[in-house]
Structure 1
Amino acid sequence: MKFLQLARKGENNWWRYFVTIILTNPGISIGAIIGSIYIYLLFSLIGLYPAMGFLGGLADILSYNIVSAFLIFILYICMVAIHHRNFKTVLTAHEKIQWHRILKGFIVWFLILLMLLFLSFSESNLKFTFDPVAYPFLVIVSLTIFFQAGFEEIFFRGYLLQAFGMKKPILAVILTALIFAAGHWGNQATFTGNIDIFIDTFIFGMVVAIITIFEDGVETAIGIHTANNMFCALIVNDGTSAFYETLPSIFTDFSTPLTPLEQLIYSSLIMGALLLIIILPQRLNLIKNILKRN
């Protein structure tokens, strides 16, 4: 809970949050618009826009990730100049950033996704789309996903979670997850697909928020989010997405969307397992330490 209370170290007038959100939110914000225009002009100049096929997909990912890095910088300025807080306070309550937790979150979630792919391989409508020429470029571009996932976690599970959670942590978890999920609406080409992604990202948002509160920092959440997006780019691309152009991922999934109930059950089970894997060992260590003291 220490992490949520770090917001009290700065200035928390409503207008400070309003200005910061207008400048930095990952949807339609002044920072995102400025960054997007700059990237569009730059990519047009070097010939990446307009681009079709996998080049278009790579340009989409790269542009969004670069804009996210720019938004991290803008949020840094907002925290210092508007909220009068150390930027580290939206990252962690620990003395230093827990880099090992980023790696832990990445490895755990990536391995879970690989296991799920293996278990569902025979039932999934997967198409082998690996392109040996294009794939190295995808790997290089995917390294910048860290900025996109990192910014979203800092903004949602850091900045907004603290804003809502100083007095009501449970409400903060739900609200930030709802806003996070709403931001993913439109990523799919069908209504059912958008319902599914809303459910999935809502549960994802709640779980990583709980982990953030439990661990007093967004580090593990950043690792999980980075692993999720890199897996979707490098291993299994969503063939029904309305957001990105085709990517030269190893596989592309053209499966029919689940029913909302099926998606709710599936996401709850998988994300619940992730929550247990992350938190349970720490709880056991805490119990062991208490027993040793006694």
Structure 2
Amino acid sequence: MYIEQAYKGLSDSWRYLVGLLVVFFFWQILGAFPLLAALMAKAGSLAVLGSADMGMMVDILGTNTLLFLMLLSFVIGLISLFVYVRWVHKQRIVELTTSRKKIDFKRILFAFSVWALVSTAFIVVDIVLSPEDYEFNFKLGPFVVLAIISIVMIPLQTSMEEYYMRGYMMQGLGMVAKNRWVPLTVTSLLFGIMHVFNPEVAKMGYGILIFYIGTGFFLGILTLMDEGLELALGFHAANNLTAALLVTADWTAFQTDSLYRDVSDPVLGWDVLVPVFVVYPLLLYIFSKKYKWSNWKDRLTGPVASEATFLAENNGEREL
């Protein structure tokens, strides 16, 4: 009963509405200040901020500094979310994470390992089949710095997205809608829309949103079927970490000193559709067998228990 974990704190709808706005402000507005300040200091002019695209920011700051400052906004957002949940909702972070008594780090590691292997295999196969599309980009010094930044910061970045979208927002929408399909649908669509300003969309068109929205539904299904964020946390961290370390391109959100650079002219193709319609269903099947999922309809679309019912089943106690 993951959504119902919100009842263990203060679950008034106004707390969620204010929380979404407050955390968004810290994440997207205050979190951007270090990057803006660094650009101004390096460029020596406010005018650069109005015209700076990804390529210009890389030229001004360098890839690793830019990556660190971009990821820092997510860390600021994650801290603000945890503080707000603890002090305004009086909810423990474990209850924002899972319906289990404690966070299952083995689940996080399993999902991370599975997707790191699969995504790495896809990249290796594509390099072997289309070597003309890639340039070997390895430089020891910059790559070591990239690896340190990525290993430390990217799991925090992906955790922010998961806790905000499939944690906090999913529990809040579940409290309001009193069912599971509304939070699943809304958070999945918003996850896709959230990526609309990524440079990949500008380069490949809005059709790539199929991948982002499909990924949102996949992660939402993981969360509801497994009654916790652990699998989604592991998967998302593996996805972004392998992307940052293995392959970069001038048209991606992460422009890094990775092992390879994709120099092809990207087009929408099988690499967008296969993960959503083939790979993700196979992963859901694997996870369902490993963790013995059942009752799919109720877990994904069924009602959310009332507060009175939930508290009665938990000895009438809130863990404030």
Moved more, 98-107 or 273-282: 273-282
Query: 1:24 matched to which residue of 2?
Result: 23
The answer to whether the Cα contact below 8 Å between 1:129 and 1:249 also exists between their aligned partners in 2 is yes
* Alignment of 1:177 onto 2:176: no
Q: 1:64, 1:120 → 2: CA distance?
A: 28
Q: 1:113, 1:57 → 2: CA distance?
A: 23
The answer to whether the Cα contact below 8 Å between 1:196 and 1:260 also exists between their aligned partners in 2 is no
* Alignment of 1:85 onto 2:64: no
Query: 1:105 matched to which residue of 2?
Result: 111
**Aligned with 2:140: secondary structure?**
coil
Query: 1:34 matched to which residue of 2?
Result: 30
1:133 to 129, 141, 149: 141
- Write out aligned runs for 1:126-205 (5 A): 126-143=134-151, 144-166=153-175, 167-188=178-199, 191=202, 193-205=204-216
The answer to whether the Cα contact below 8 Å between 2:244 and 2:256 also exists between their aligned partners in 1 is yes
* Alignment of 1:247 onto 2:256: yes
Q: Structure 1 residues 271 and 232 mapped into 2: Cα distance closer, same or farther (>3 Å)?
A: same
| 1:214, distance to aligned residue in structure 2 (A) | 1.7
Q: 1:157, 1:277 → 2: CA distance?
A: 21
Structure 1: tracts of 5 or more residues without a match: 286-294
**Aligned with 1:220: secondary structure?**
helix
Q: 1:70, 1:187 → 2: CA distance?
A: 20
Query: 2:223 matched to which residue of 1?
Result: 212
- Which amino acid counterpart does residue 225 of structure 2 have in structure 1? F
1:234 to 245, 248, 251: 245
The answer to whether the Cα contact below 8 Å between 1:53 and 1:247 also exists between their aligned partners in 2 is no
Q: Considering only aligned residues, what root-mean-square deviation do their CA atoms show, in Å?
A: 2.9
Paired positions, count: 279
Percent identical across equivalent pairs? 24
Q: 2:229, 2:187 → 1: CA distance?
A: 14
Q: 1:224, 1:132 → 2: CA distance?
A: 27
Q: Structure 1 residues 136 and 176 mapped into 2: Cα distance closer, same or farther (>3 Å)?
A: same
- Which amino acid counterpart does residue 158 of structure 1 have in structure 2? G
**Aligned with 1:186: secondary structure?**
coil
TM-score, with structure 2 as normaliser? 0.77
Q: 1:142, 1:105 → 2: CA distance?
A: 18
